[in-house]
């Protein structure tokens, strides 16, 4: 059965201005590209085309999320602020989130692209789908955008799945190197959404993503953070999947699994200090596909988040898409042999301790 793919040229036109990577221009650092720029996304999509894999994907047409649909996750005040600034000459969604004129409409299309991917998977048009959207979404909360995110694409799509398709239990598995704080906050008291985030311990946002953030009231136990030590590679991530993520999914029994998909846990990302290779992302995809096949008719959606290495994001993305489609293109990742040999790529004792601490929380999920 087919794999769907969402892309829209306007995603590439979201303007993050001429910043010094993540900091506003000042007279201490020469301005250049913002870290969150179109290049990694465009190269990912272009490698899909050049490899021939794009020919095997089912194009899914993005549509704009309406303001009412955004309002299922966001306050009307936040929506209005972004809309007003976007109609003027852009602004900053709160901190570190600059955007230009027209980004409101593009962000509507990003949330709507993820919704369209959900639609196609839930209705059985495709078995699984990847939404290569921009701007990203997993840091945005109800009231503010942050960390390059304007609206919470995945959260808006989860609400849409419930409102339009009566889907019940949904699990998110966020493998972006940063904590999925926005997704966490939007479902913190909701026992029907299991939010899981694997991330570099206390990277971004500051003081966010600890083991003690478990959810509240009826949602207590249904938020699961897996903060991993910097330097964690394929060994640690696969162990975290096998010992925490997969057992948690088995207990929760979701009707759909969605991955806020960031490739910034890679070994060469400028904004993270992890060591995951394209093969690591491939193996994590394979494990999630098996879980989805066992638990929810294979329903798996990914929505693009971070990933800032222009030379490596395309290989990680291709590996994930090869796994989702079951088609090998024969394209070699030139980094994989090097990265596999890096020191401490295998699971280390201090990483195992961190994973064991998270694994103890799985028993609270039912």
- List of residues contacting Zn ion (CB under 5 A): 176, 178, 262, 264, 306
- Scored b (16 or more CB within 10 A) or e, 57-71 reads beebebbbbeeebbb
Residue pair 333/339 in contact (Cβ under 8 Å)? The answer is no
d(CA 245, CA 291): 10
Beta strands in 7-135 (DSSP E): 58-60, 91-92, 94-95, 98-99, 128-131
Q: Count CB atoms within 10 A of the CB of residue 201.
A: 16
Closer to Zn ion by CB, 262 or 280: give it. 262
Q: Count CB atoms within 10 A of the CB of residue 99.
A: 26
d(CA 158, CA 168): 10
Closer to Zn ion by CB, 264 or 279: give it. 264
- Smallest gap from Cβ 313 to Zn ion, in A, equals 11
- Smallest gap from Cβ 294 to Zn ion, in A, equals 29
- Smallest gap from Cβ 177 to Zn ion, in A, equals 5
- Smallest gap from Cβ 59 to Zn ion, in A, equals 26
Instruction: Give the residue closest to Zn ion by C-beta.
Output: 306
Closer to Zn ion by CB, 50 or 268: give it. 268
- Smallest gap from Cβ 265 to Zn ion, in A, equals 8
Among the listed residues 284, 6, 261, 253, the one whose alpha carbon sits nearest the alpha carbon of residue 125: 6
- Smallest gap from Cβ 36 to Zn ion, in A, equals 9
Closer to Zn ion by CB, 176 or 279: give it. 176
Q: Given the residues 14, 34, 139, 160, select the one marked as catalytic.
A: 139
Residue pair 94/363 in contact (Cβ under 8 Å)? The answer is no
Residue 306 tokens, joined: 């971070």
Closer to Zn ion by CB, 120 or 225: give it. 225
Residue 351 C-alpha from the chain's centroid: 22
Closer to Zn ion by CB, 234 or 264: give it. 264
d(CA 116, CA 156): 11
Among the listed residues 111, 87, 114, 110, the one whose alpha carbon sits nearest the alpha carbon of residue 99: 87
* 138 is annotated as an active-site residue: no
**80 HSE (CA, 13 A, CB side):** 3
d(CA 326, CA 343): 31
Provide the annotated active-site residues. 139
């Amino acid at each position: 059965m087919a794999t769907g793919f969402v892309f829209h040229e306007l995603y590439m036109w979201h303007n993050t201005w001429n910043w010094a990577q993540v900091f506003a221009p000042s007279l201490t650092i020469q301005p250049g590209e913002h870290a969150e720029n179109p290049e990694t996304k465009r190269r990912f999509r272009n490698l899909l085309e050049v490899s021939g894999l794009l020919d095997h994907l089912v194009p899914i047409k993005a549509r704009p999320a309406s303001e009412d649909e955004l309002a299922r996750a966001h306050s009307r005040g936040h929506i209005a602020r972004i809309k007003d600034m976007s109609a003027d000459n852009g602004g900053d969604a709160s901190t570190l989130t600059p955007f230009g004129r027209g980004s409101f409409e593009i962000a509507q299309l990003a949330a709507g692209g993820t919704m369209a991917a959900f639609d196609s998977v839930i209705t059985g048009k495709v078995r699984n789908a990847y939404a290569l959207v921009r701007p990203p979404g997993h840091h945005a909360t109800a009231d503010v955008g942050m960390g390059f995110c304007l609206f919470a694409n995945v959260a808006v799509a989860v609400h849409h799945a419930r409102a339009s398709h009566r889907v019940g239990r949904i699990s998110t598995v966020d493998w972006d190197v940063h904590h999925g704080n926005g997704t966490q906050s939007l479902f913190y008291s909701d026992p029907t959404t299991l939010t899981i985030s694997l991330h570099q311990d206390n990277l971004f946002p500051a003081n966010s993503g600890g083991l003690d953030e478990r959810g509240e009231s009826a949602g207590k136990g249904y938020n699961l953070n897996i903060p991993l030590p910097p330097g964690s590679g394929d060994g640690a991530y696969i162990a975290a999947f096998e010992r925490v993520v997969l057992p948690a999914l088995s207990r929760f029994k979701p009707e759909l699994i969605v991955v806020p998909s960031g490739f910034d846990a890679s070994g060469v990302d400028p904004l993270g200090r992890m060591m995951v290779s394209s093969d690591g992302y491939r193996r994590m995809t394979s494990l999630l596909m098996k879980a989805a096949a066992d638990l929810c008719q294979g329903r798996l959606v990914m929505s693009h988040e971070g990933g800032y290495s222009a030379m490596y994001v395309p290989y990680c993305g291709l590996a994930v898409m090869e796994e989702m489609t079951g088609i090998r293109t024969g394209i070699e990742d030139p980094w994989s042999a090097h990265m596999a040999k890096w020191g401490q790529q295998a699971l280390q004792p201090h990483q195992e301790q961190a994973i064991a601490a998270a694994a103890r929380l799985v028993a609270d999920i039912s």
